[in-house]
Amino acid sequence: MLTEEHQKSFVLRRGRITSNQKNALDTLWDRYVLKEGEYVDSFLSDKHSVLDIGFGAGETTTYLAKNMPNSSILGAEVYLSGIGSTLSRSNEEKLTNIKILNSDIVPFLEEKISDCSFDLVLMFYPDPWPKRKHHKRRLFQEGFINLIQRKLRKDGIFYFKTDWNHYYEEAKKIPFEKKKWKVLDEGQLDILLQELPETSFEKKALKAKRDLNKIILQKI
């Protein structure tokens, strides 16, 4: 187990949902979103499998699904606006290799996912919880990294990005090498991952002159 009492890394907030997002949620939910209690081992099976944690508007998730048609893509997101956008994109692109999880990723990984299930796990720009009293809510912590390591297959990749410098500096303090990881740089990744499209979030971060920090780990 990650902790005896898992501290959620998110707080659900009521956000604006556009008419397009609402329509996608109403009409496409059953096609793409996992049902409560549903296991995904059969979806992942022996295929190359990707987990995208906190996918936001789903730009990266759907890009990978489109460009990796023989892979199984599982996206996790708690906010309905982002899910609505991703459902719409998935439908427009006629994607059949994508599933969406609308719940907390930690208990799902612990209880529903077999070890050695993924070849690639992405976690781009999770909530940085900037106030010191909230740092314990940050998802990128040693216990979580150990959980990801278990769920990755041999040589699998964990790819983390944050635009919050303090979060990045704290994350780097985790002794990855002692936890059966090899630290990579972006140039060692598959070309598809080196050329991911710039998301709307990244454009805003760059416009605000925030750094796009990266940590890339490979399971040994």
Catalytic residues, which ones? 127
Taking the C-alpha atoms of residue 67 and residue 70, their distance in angstroms, rounded to an integer, is 9
Bridge partner residues of 159 (DSSP): 122, 216
Residues 6+ apart with CB under 8 A from 64: 50, 52, 71, 73, 192
Sheet holding 72-76, edge to edge: 98-101, 72-76, 49-53, 118-124, 152-162, 213-219, 181-184
As given in the structure block, the two tokens for residue 185 are 């740089």
In this structure, are residues 198 and 207 in contact, taking their beta carbons and an 8 Å threshold?
Answer: no
In this structure, are residues 163 and 211 in contact, taking their beta carbons and an 8 Å threshold?
Answer: yes
